[in-house]
Amino acid sequence: MKTTQEIKTEFEQVLSEVSKISGMTAESAVQVATMILQESGKFQRTETMHNGNSNGDKPASPKQIKFLQDLGILVEPGITSKKASELIEVNKGKGRASAHPFPK
């Protein structure tokens, strides 16, 4: 997530470029720059969703990774908590760790 300062800097850069358009009023330039950044944010969120990290899904926990490994499942780097949960649900009871999945 971007900081307020990063957003401000990005806005200033976009506004500077948009202001170079011939015949563009200052008010119009601000509106166009704002719309560009809004669309850019939508695009970035869509990219995040398509890359398997929708809804801000967090990385799998160390316990999830260990449990998957105990089940004999090869864990891919960057696996999300949601994906790990799905794999555990489908495969639980099949491995040697099923009796005691997490030490108490």
Q: Domain span at residue 99?
A: 57-104
pLDDT at 30 over 90: yes
Average pLDDT over residues 2-22: 91
Q: Would the pLDDT of 56 be above 70?
A: no
Domain boundary among the residues 51, 69, 89 is at: 51
What pLDDT is attached to residue 96? 52
Instruction: Give yes or no: residues 71 and 33 share one domain.
Output: no
Task: Please give the model's pTM, rounded to 2 decimal places.
Answer: 0.47
The average pLDDT across 39-47 equals 83
* 99 and 73 co-located in one domain: yes
pLDDT of residue 66: 92
Return phi, psi of residue 16, to 5°.
Answer: -60, -45
- pLDDT for position 41: 85
Are 28 and 13 part of one and the same domain? yes
| Final residue in a domain of this structure, among 51, 75, 90 | 51
Tell me how far apart the alpha carbons of residues 5 and 11 are, in angstroms, rounded to a whole number: 10
Distance CA 69, CA 75 (A): 7
Segment 51-79 mean pLDDT? 82
Task: Say yes or no: 24 and 44 in one domain.
Answer: yes
Number of domain units in the chain: 2
Same domain, 86 and 63: yes
Q: Is the pLDDT of residue 1 over 90?
A: no
Find where tokens 């990385």 sit: 59
Q: Are residues 69 and 34 part of one domain? A: no
Phi and psi, residue 80, nearest 5°: -90, 160
Same domain, yes or no, for 27 and 63? Answer: no
Within this chain, do residues 100 and 75 fall inside the same structural domain, yes or no?
yes
What integer pLDDT is reported at residue 20 of this predicted model? 93
Cα three-residue angle 19-24-29, rounded to 5 degrees = 50
The string of DSSP codes covering 40-98 is HHHHHHHHHHHTT-GGGPPBPPHHHHHHHHHTTPPPPTT-BHHHHHHHHHHHTTSSTTT
